[in-house]
């Protein structure tokens, strides 16, 4: 019977969740504060920790980091209100197994817990000298770079293939949720450094006081709380690639420290007099205009030129319309594997809704939407009733060219028209209809179109 430590200060809600988990065959220990949780984890062993993001006596993310250091093999799930979801997503990058947003869907709670218990936690590397604790390599929700068919996607792919074999510093510019980390990982995997570490760092999640320690490491006793030697991100990435996400969030002082490390290719751990040589490639990402930040004096111009030897635009989902159903199908296959489901595809109505939606959250929103819809779908196809309410409120205007091939009007006639226009080339017809070849073949069979 898996044992769960539940940390939640809302007593009524906590008891309700405890009853639900016990009913689902879990052994539950409750802690109403961080102090109680510390005592519990000292006296008992747990298979999973479920903690609220906001606690009366301590910050939930800080508590998560504390438990990750002392018990790295226990998966931690954060419980969060809707307004704190962005914070929870950042926490996942720093080691949380997953998060659940309130109000809860019981099926989702069960699914997230089951997945976290089944996913093996990454063991920390053994470092022979001074027992340094190395930061773990980041894991990614998408391990595969999806090749799109749109003009924007082809340009992106060309730029990745051009710059990957070089050692140039790359700045990835794009909206939140467009897959900037996946682009960075893809560059690393196609580079000469692919057999060495890829270390991803979210600059927005690091307090400026701790940035030097996180980047360059520290020696035991160098400041309050430094209970052991720690290897920094730069040393962990030695020989490989370091990816600094949302670099515009770094304080001016941290920018100076980073610039010095990049110029000299040397780092000095906090509390140490010894410099360490590092050989790393730097890839950075931002969703803001760094040139404007340079103009306003918020970002150092010399650092901007250092990190921007080559820039790549990460296109938004609305700029790659033709790729929409390619990504949707990819996320569906992934969701089927994760949820042990066998959903075949999307209904014509859902395809039409997807094509008319603006996707402000880009690929991340699409992935979350498909995963949720897959969980809720009981039949072979995802239908409109399992989509969130916002899909029926925000619509975008279709252009005249895409309208003539829209599946929302008369599906069978649209397919025949597209096949005629593409001279019966099914790949071209699928592009005109903005669906995948697999979806087109399913529809040809459904309508008995030869």
Same domain? 114 vs 162: no
Q: What are phi and psi of 60, to 5 degrees?
A: -60, -40
**In terms of domains, do 81 and 55 share one?**
yes
Regarding whether 102 and 19 lie in a shared domain, the answer is yes
Distance between CA atoms of residues 301 and 437, nearest Å = 47
Q: Checking DSSP bridges between strand 266-267 and strand 48-52, what pairing results, if any?
A: unpaired
Q: What are phi and psi of 281, to 5 degrees?
A: -100, 140
Residue-level pLDDT at 240: 94
Nearest to 47 by CA among 31, 35, 29, 32: 29
Say yes or no: 310 and 354 in one domain: no
HSE (CB half, 13 Å, CA atoms) of 417?
Answer: 14
User: What CATH number should be reported for the domain holding residue 179?
Assistant: 3.40.50.300
In this structure, are 323 and 294 located in the same domain?
Answer: no
The length of the chain in residues reads: 450
Query: Is the bond preceding residue 103 a cis peptide, omega within 30 degrees?
Result: yes
User: Looking at the 3D structure of the chain, how many domains does it have?
Assistant: 3
> Does any domain span residue 137?
no
Contact 239, 192 (CB under 8 A): no
Same domain, 240 and 207: yes
In angstroms, the first-to-last Cα distance of the chain is: 55
Burial class (CB in 10 A: 0-12, 13-18, 19+), 298: middle
* Pure H helices in 99-246: 106-118, 151-163, 180-189, 211-216, 233-236
Task: Identify whether residues 290 and 438 lie together within a single domain.
Answer: no
CB 148 within 8 A of CB 212: no
Let me know if residue 75 belongs to a domain: yes
Q: Beta strand pairing status for 310-314 and 170-174?
A: parallel
Residue 209 lies in a domain: yes
What residues form DSSP beta bridges with 27? Answer: 3
Question: How many C-beta atoms lie closer than 10 Å to residue 276's C-beta?
Answer: 17
pTM of the model: 0.58
Domain presence at residue 12:
yes
**Is the residue at 39 inside a domain?**
yes
List % helix, strand, coil for the chain (3-state, nearest 5): 45, 15, 40
Q: Tell me the CATH number at 88.
A: 3.40.50.2300
In terms of domains, do 103 and 166 share one? no
* List of residues 6+ apart from 10 with CB closer than 8 A: 52
Domain boundary among 314, 329, 351: 314
Whether residue 271 is contained in a domain is answered as yes
How far CA 5 is from CA of 22, 71, 85, in Å, comes to 12, 13, 22
Please report, in tens digits, the pLDDT of each residue of the chain (450 residues total).
Answer: 889 999 988 777 777 788 888 888 899 999 988 889 999 999 999 999 999 888 887 888 888 888 888 888 899 998 887 556 666 666 776 778 888 877 677 777 888 898 888 866 544 333 343 343 433 333 333 345 788 888 999 999 999 999 999 999 999 999 999 999 999 999 999 999 999 999 999 888 888 888 888 889 888 766 666 677 788 899 999 999 999 999 999 999 999 999 999 999 998 888 888 889 999 999 999 998 899 999 999 999 999 999 999 999 999 998 898 899 889 989 998 999 999 998 988 988 999 899 889 899 999 999 999 999 999 999 889 999 999 888 876 544 333 444 445 554 467 878 888 888 878 888 888 878 877 777 787 788 777 887
Residue after which a domain boundary falls, among 314, 338, 364: 314
Q: With residue 68 as reference, give the H or E element that holds it.
A: helix 60-70
Q: Cβ(216)–Cβ(232) under 8 Å?
A: yes
Q: Quick one: pLDDT at residue 226?
A: 63
The whole-number pLDDT of residue 411 equals 77
User: What's the domain range around 167?
Assistant: 151-314
Residue 353 domain flag = yes
CB-CB contact of 123 with 139 (8 Å): no
Enumerate the β-bridge partners of residue 218.
230, 270
327 and 289 in one domain?
A: no
Predicted pLDDT of residue 65: 85
Residue 7 confidence (pLDDT)? 92
The pLDDT of residue 424: 83
Do 55 and 171 fall into the same domain?
no
335/299 same-domain check: no
| Number of helices followed by number of strands (H, E) in the chain | 19, 14
Give the domain CATH number at 372. Answer: 1.10.8.60
Q: Does the residue 131 lie in any domain?
A: no
Residue ranges of alpha helices (H) inside 340-392 are: 348-356, 362-376
Pairing verdict, β 310-314 and 281-286: unpaired
Domain end marker among 314, 340, 370:
314
């Amino acid at each position: 019977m898996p044992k769960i430590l539940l940390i939640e200060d809302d007593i009524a809600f906590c008891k309700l969740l405890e009853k639900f988990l016990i009913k689902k065959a879990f052994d539950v220990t409750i802690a109403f504060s961080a102090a109680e949780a510390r005592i519990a984890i000292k006296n008992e062993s747990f298979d999973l920790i479920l903690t609220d993001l906001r606690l009366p006596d301590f910050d939930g993310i800080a508590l998560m980091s504390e438990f990750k250091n002392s018990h790295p093999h226990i998966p931690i799930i954060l419980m969060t209100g809707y307004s704190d979801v962005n914070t929870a997503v950042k926490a996942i990058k720093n080691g949380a197994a997953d998060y659940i947003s309130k109000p809860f869907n019981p099926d989702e709670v069960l699914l997230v817990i089951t997945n976290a218990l089944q996913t093996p936690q990454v063991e920390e590397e053994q470092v022979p000298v001074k027992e340094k604790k190395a930061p773990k390599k980041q894991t990614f929700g998408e391990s595969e770079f999806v090749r799109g068919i749109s003009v924007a996607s082809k340009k992106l792919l060309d730029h990745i293939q051009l710059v990957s074999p070089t050692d140039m510093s790359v700045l990835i510019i794009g909206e939140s949720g467009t897959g900037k980390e996946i682009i960075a990982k893809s560059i690393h995997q196609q580079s000469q450094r692919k057999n060495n570490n890829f270390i991803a760092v979210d600059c927005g999640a690091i307090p400026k006081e701790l940035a030097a320690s996180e980047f360059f490491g520290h020696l035991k006793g160098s400041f309050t709380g430094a209970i052991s030697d720690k290897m920094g991100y730069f040393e962990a990435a030695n020989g490989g690639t370091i990816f600094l996400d949302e670099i515009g969030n770094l304080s001016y002082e941290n920018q100076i420290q980073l610039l010095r490390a990049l110029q000299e290719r040397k780092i000095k751990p906090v509390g140490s007099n010894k410099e360490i040589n590092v050989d790393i490639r730097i890839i950075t990402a931002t969703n803001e205009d760094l040139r404007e930040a340079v103009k306003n004096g918020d970002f150092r111009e010399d650092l901007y030129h250092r990190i921007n030897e080559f820039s790549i635009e990460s296109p938004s989902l609305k700029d790659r319309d033709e790729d929409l159903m390619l990504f949707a199908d990819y996320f569906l296959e992934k969701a089927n594997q994760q949820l042990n489901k066998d959903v075949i595809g999307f209904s014509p109505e859902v395809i039409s809704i997807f094509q008319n939606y603006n996707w402000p959250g880009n690929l991340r929103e699409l992935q979350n939407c498909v995963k949720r819809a897959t969980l809720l779908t009981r039949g072979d196809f995802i239908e409109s009733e399992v989509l969130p309410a916002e899909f029926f409120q925000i619509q975008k205007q279709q252009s005249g060219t895409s309208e003539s091939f829209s599946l929302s009007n008369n599906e069978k006639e649209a397919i025949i028209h597209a096949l005629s226009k593409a001279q019966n080339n099914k790949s071209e017809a699928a592009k005109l209809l903005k669906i995948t070849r697999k979806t087109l073949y399913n529809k040809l069979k459904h309508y008995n179109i030869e």
